[in-house]
A and B are shown apart, each in its own frame.
Chain A
Amino acid sequence: MNAGPARRQERDVDALVIGAGAAGCVAARRLALAGHEVLVLHNGTGATRLSSGAFDVGDDLRDDVPGNSSDPLSPSSARAGMLDVATKRLRHPYAQLSAGARAQMDDAIRFFFDATPGLSWHRSLSLNENLVALTQLGTAKRTFAALRHMAYVGDQQRCAVMDLRDCGGVNAGQIAAMLRHVTALSARELSYVTVPVARVFRGPALGHPAHMARALDADESAQERFVSEVETALAGHGDVELALFPAVFGPDLADRLEERTGVPCRALMALPPSAPGQLLVDALHRGAKACGAELVRAQVSSAEVEDGRVTRVHAEAPGLTVRPQVVVLATGRFLGGGLSRDQVGRETVFGLPLLAEGQVVGDRFIGEFTGPVVDSEHEIFRAGIGYDAQLRPVGVRGAKVAHNLFAAGSVLEGYDPARDASGLGVCALTGYLAAGFALEVLDAAEDAAA
């Protein structure tokens, strides 16, 4: 197919964003909206695609004892959560950023929701309230916002877990049992029943909700059969006020289901491979492109820094060298590909040191960066690159690497989305801020040129 030696293309751009997850897309959109030429390079993977359909900003870092001090079914405040994180986790971006920067969270969140065109979110009107989402593991979790068709606790009392005969990979009975247990731990009483839905597809059962989502997506007539089977099933359970499904449908089909059955039909927070995560990434890409950013799939391999300035960034497949004015590094963590640890820990594009709790990970035994049990704190999952108050990556001694390089999202050191309840919120904030700082550099360059 590929005859001849691959030719390297060279390009000048105003802004290069490396990574098209939540952080990269937010940054790209803001830079593009300001009228700059923006190129986004990404390799198609990343944590955003795997996320569950919820958007966390902050939650009080309770010692996580449901039914005790803090009831997971009672909403908390995202703003208080941010403060809690900032005071308890001193290396967390919320703590490292200035209070002024942190105060831009309201703007950043508004920006984030605008950056996902075509998706609608269920969220509180202010940062003062988190909602309670229900997950496919049968648990509840507090979060700031959820895709509108996802399951969260509203004022319904009587809930049904829909048992889709087509869909392997879930055990509706056990999810309902776990939800009953979780609810019993709470002050808020909800009841759960299991409702079987007859098969819609012929052939072997589908192995995972994401498979069924794909199959439904591809087949209009199956959608219709699905809707009418759900209708029949719910007709036999007239008292059900909320129907919960594994994440096999998007917002449109959810609307159709509700229209036909008269019962709100929602998807439980998904486990990867996650159909809602895919929806989110697709929307973020649309949002960046709509403002003129160009997204290109390529593997970024290295970069050149001269006199405190990133001058060139190299990518492979396709071979491409970019000469940017500013760069936003939003390559994520180990899942995204921004960080790696293969006997030696490092950031993958600039070769920056990987820090955990401020210490260089280097080639030290990985066991030193992990806790003894699976759910303890693991330093390696708070690892990332060091950065200054302008979100500029710094080397070991704290000096910035380049004045036109900024970082955003989960590549930053100091936070663990699985323990700080602030995953996409940090991406939205730092993506927004990094673009803002980059704009200052671009503006200064324009002024100088003028």
Chain B
Amino acid sequence: MAQREHDVIIIGGGVNGTGIARDCALRGLRPLLIEKHDFAKGASGANTGMIHGGIRYLRYDVKTTKLSCTDSGYIQRIAPHLLFRIPFLFPVLEDDAWGALLLEGAEIFFESYDVYQPLKRGKPHTRLSKKDVLDLEPGVSEKVIGAVTMDEWGIDPFRLTVSNALDAVGHGGAVRTYCDVEAFIRDGDRIVGVRFTDRLTGREETHHAPLVINATGAWGPRIAALAGVHYRLRPGKGIHIVYSHRISNYGVVMIGVDGRQMFMMPHENGTIIGTTDDDYYGDLDNPKATEDEVKYLLQAARRVFPSIDDYRMSRTYVGIRPTVWAWSRNEDLLSREHEFYDHKNQGADGLISVAGGKLAAYRQLSEEVTDIIAQRLGNTQPCRTHTEPLPGAEEAFDVAQYADDLSVPRLSVARMAYRHGCTAKDILQQVEADPRCGTHVCLCEPVTEAEVRYTCQKEHVRRLVDVRRRTRVSMGACGGTRCLHRAAQELAAEAQLEPVEQLLELRDAMCARFVGKRPVLEGANLATEELNQAMHFLTGNLRGYFKAAELMSGRYALTSAKSPAADAPDGDGEHKDPESLTAGPKPPQDRVQVPSLMPEPR
């Protein structure tokens, strides 16, 4: 008999994996979630962040549109603090392929979408004249002949994913980050568990459960291969460019040279433009934005919003869509964006892979998967993920009152409450105890020291890059120049890191940021990077200390073996993803004891 430490093991800490874990936990099951990096390090943290209602399925499948809108409504109910409305303009330019005809077509199209808008608290479309458009959004090209509006919602995908994970834990689930699943445990034809390595401690562990869900997105087929089974995906790479500030009042639909639709939209405190979609078979852990992709996006944005070049780019980010291999020929499957593969017939009973999906449909997907899990395990509890609030959504929170009482700027408290909902109360308690916690670690966002501390204490942070995903530290205009060293200090204080570890955390977080900045180091962004370099490597003299820290931790040997010269130009000497460094061989000299990188999660 196989042991049963957990009811189900879920591999992959994206929005789907954490969503499934939450659903399982809410139904009284004991899930274990295993994530190789951190929550939302994959596609779930690299998307457009739109909880859209599936307007594009409208062309072939009304049902899916309705479902998507309904689910979007559910997400608004369970995490209202995380959502922000984005009204969109679909401008038609005089040199658009179909010109005025396109405008008519768009109107008819959006009219049919209006039917579903109430499901997600959206407004019906309107038709705008040239003058209307230019009044509302003066930056749009003079060539505009009119526009149609539509209403969508945006979300912080990192917070959505982390909230699901936190809630799973809150209801009896277990989560492990920085654990890389390397093998399955078999009992004949049955999969009964997994073996993984904690990449920060180097320790290997084996865990058992009667069911294993492979929710590793684009990595899925690789995980399946570990069990000797297979399915196909068609991974699609998509990049976005982030601007440091709000550029437009509205989201604006833009058209690429090849006719593809893309968006320029306000997102959090900034603006993003994206996205591309290209087949991708490269390194999943380390995708990078290329010159062509950046140019393609800029060209599309310029056409509809000519002054785009006057604004400050701050970085790019890249994600790989776990797209289902091909549309099935079966009509009623035509518009399904996700598939489940039961590998029983391939000789791996107990392993189910999840392919595809959307951020906007994660809850629905999770429910469907958990239904299967529950049925297999004989659990009859109903799904509650559409009614139970996510952490922070339990009650309202009065920003102004807290801000004024504690003399913390309202904007800071408002942004904190955006991310944490009413949990912001717990964070602000620390400010009450020590007013210095109310000062800012990150001024761009802004993020207070109290929030950084809180996230280190309570949100399964194991590395500095996790703090970034949880709080948006270093995601703003300064690109980490002012805030990363401060966040590193706070993390070090909370997690009792040795200075060597703190240095490595800082370096890796700076490297991770640099990967995103590198393709768009133009204008003010380049000046900021000059400051970043001067502050850390001139005033701080950190290059030498970084190297020494790597040497002492033993990691240096590993990186330098894999990439002969970190300084070599791109190509052969490709640097490893700074976030995917694993514990290396023993230090060459034992001058400083380097214990585990971070304490074990409780």
Confirm or deny: B492 has a beta carbon within 8 angstroms of a beta carbon on chain A: yes
Whether the Cβ atoms of B531 and A335 lie closer than 8 Å is yes
- A23: min CB distance to chain B, Å: 16
- A104: min CB distance to chain B, Å: 24
- Chain A residues in 8 Å Cβ range of B489: 171, 174-175
- Chain A residues in 8 Å Cβ range of B544: 62, 64-66, 72
Confirm or deny: B583 has a beta carbon within 8 angstroms of a beta carbon on chain A: no
Whether the Cβ atoms of B567 and A371 lie closer than 8 Å is yes
A46-90 contacts to B (CB < 8 Å) = 47, 50-52, 54, 56, 62-68, 72
For the side of the interface on B, what is the size category? Answer: 35 or more
Bound complex: CA A205 to CA B439 (Å): 7
Whether the Cβ atoms of A367 and B518 lie closer than 8 Å is yes
Whether the Cβ atoms of B439 and A181 lie closer than 8 Å is no
B286-334 contacts to A (CB < 8 Å) = 291, 309
Q: Which of A177, A269, A367 contacts B519 (CB 8 A)?
A: A367
- Chain A residues in 8 Å Cβ range of B534: 47, 50-51, 335, 417-418
The answer to whether A204 and B438 touch (CB under 8 A), given A139-B542, A381-B530, is yes
- A423: min CB distance to chain B, Å: 6
- Chain A residues in 8 Å Cβ range of B570: 367, 372
Of B542, B546, B575, most A-chain CB atoms within 10 Å: B542
Interface string of A363-375 (1 = CB under 8 A from B): 0011100111111
For the side of the interface on A, what is the size category? Answer: 35 or more
Find the B residue at minimum CB distance from A63. B547
Bound complex: CA A62 to CA B545 (Å): 12
Whether the Cβ atoms of A205 and B435 lie closer than 8 Å is yes
**One of B124-132, B168-176, B509-517 contacting the partner:** B509-517
Whether the Cβ atoms of B537 and A375 lie closer than 8 Å is yes
- Chain B residues in 8 Å Cβ range of A136: 539
Whether the Cβ atoms of B492 and A169 lie closer than 8 Å is no
B494-552 contacts to A (CB < 8 Å) = 498-500, 502, 507, 510-511, 513-514, 518-523, 526-527, 530-548, 551
Whether the Cβ atoms of B499 and A178 lie closer than 8 Å is yes
Confirm or deny: B493 has a beta carbon within 8 angstroms of a beta carbon on chain A: yes
Bound complex: CA A208 to CA B446 (Å): 14
Bound complex: CA A66 to CA B492 (Å): 21
Whether the Cβ atoms of B567 and A365 lie closer than 8 Å is no
Whether the Cβ atoms of A381 and B533 lie closer than 8 Å is yes
- Chain A residues in 8 Å Cβ range of B531: 50, 272, 335
Of A168, A334, A376, A418, most B-chain CB atoms within 10 Å: A418
Whether the Cβ atoms of B535 and A341 lie closer than 8 Å is no
- Chain B residues in 8 Å Cβ range of A366: 518-522, 526
Confirm or deny: B485 has a beta carbon within 8 angstroms of a beta carbon on chain A: yes
- B394: min CB distance to chain A, Å: 29
Find the B residue at minimum CB distance from A67. B548
- Chain B residues in 8 Å Cβ range of A272: 531, 535
Confirm or deny: A44 has a beta carbon within 8 angstroms of a beta carbon on chain B: no
Bound complex: CA A201 to CA B326 (Å): 66
Confirm or deny: A279 has a beta carbon within 8 angstroms of a beta carbon on chain B: no
Confirm or deny: A333 has a beta carbon within 8 angstroms of a beta carbon on chain B: yes
Please list the residues of chain A having a beta carbon within 8 angstroms of any beta carbon in chain B.
Answer: 47, 50-52, 54, 56, 62-68, 72, 135-141, 165-169, 171, 173-175, 177-178, 180-182, 184-185, 203-208, 269-272, 333-335, 340-343, 365-367, 370-378, 380-381, 416-419, 423
> What are 8 of the A-B contact pairs (CB < 8 Å)?
A68-B551, A169-B439, A171-B486, A171-B489, A173-B493, A178-B502, A181-B500, A372-B566
A-B pairs, 7 with minimum CB distance: A168-B439, A64-B544, A181-B499, A141-B541, A374-B514, A174-B489, A334-B527
Q: List 10 extra interface pairs beyond A206-B439, A417-B538, CB under 8 A.
A: A168-B438, A175-B489, A178-B502, A185-B591, A203-B407, A333-B530, A365-B291, A366-B526, A370-B521, A371-B569
